[in-house]
Amino acid sequence: MALLSILHHPDPRLRRKAALVTRFDDALRALIEDLFETMYAAPGTGLAANQVGMSMRLAVMDCSETRSQRIVMINPEIISSDERREMEEGCLSVPDIFDKVQRYNRLHLRALNEFGEPFEVCAFGLMAQCIQHEIDHLDGKLYIDYLSPLKRERIKKKLLKREAA
Ligand code: NI
């Protein structure tokens, strides 16, 4: 296993739409282990493959307090969602910045697991929020895109300053 380095905003690689996963082999499962290790070490509740520079529709998550409920989602799709509400959010690619965004509180997810087998899950609260956040990553979106242009500009300046330090 290995710790991977997480890309930070405004890295352009975070803005590309990730490609569908078609090979479910040992290399994929090794990458998944590295993603989990990197996410737990950060620490974070979710990590998408394109946050470590791999253009693949793959994300790992663990929204539990005990850090013991691993979820892998590959080529994920949200089938239905409802109850929009404001939730506090952060992102490992936008370090140390948090803000409120509108998310669906409930959703129905369809995805593949690390063996390419389909599964469906109904999620609510933090897990629903995390799923939407990670799928946004796979589409080249960041949660700060939902904030005002002024706020986004301030965040970008702050992160550029931090990278230069
Ligand atoms: Ni994120």
Give 121's contacts (C-beta < 8 A, 6+ positions apart): 108, 109, 111
Q: How confident is the model at residue 163 (pLDDT cuts 50, 70, 90)?
A: confident
CA of 164 to the centre of ligand 1 (A): 21
C-beta atoms surrounding 153 within 10 Å: 11
CATH assignment of 12-164? 3.90.45.10
Query: Mean of the per-residue pLDDT values for the chain?
Result: 96
**C-alpha–C-alpha distance, residues 72 and 12, integer Å:** 25
Give 63's contacts (C-beta < 8 A, 6+ positions apart): 45, 46, 69, 71, 126, 127, 130
| Whether pLDDT at 1 is above 80 | no
Domain range annotation of the chain: 12-164
pLDDT of residue 165: 82
pTM: 0.96
CA of 45 to the centre of ligand 1 (A): 9
Q: How confident is the model at residue 4 (pLDDT cuts 50, 70, 90)?
A: very high
Q: What is the pLDDT of residues 57-116, one digit of tens each?
A: 999 999 999 999 999 999 999 999 999 999 999 999 999 999 999 999 999 999 999 999
DSSP 3-state of 31: helix
Instruction: Over range 21-25, report the average pLDDT.
Output: 98
**C-alpha–C-alpha distance, residues 32 and 48, integer Å:** 10
CA of 99 to the centre of ligand 1 (A): 13
Q: How confident is the model at residue 30 (pLDDT cuts 50, 70, 90)?
A: very high
Catalytic residues: 134
**Prior bond of 10 cis (ω within 30°):** yes
CA of 115 to the centre of ligand 1 (A): 24
Instruction: Over range 130-141, report the average pLDDT.
Output: 98
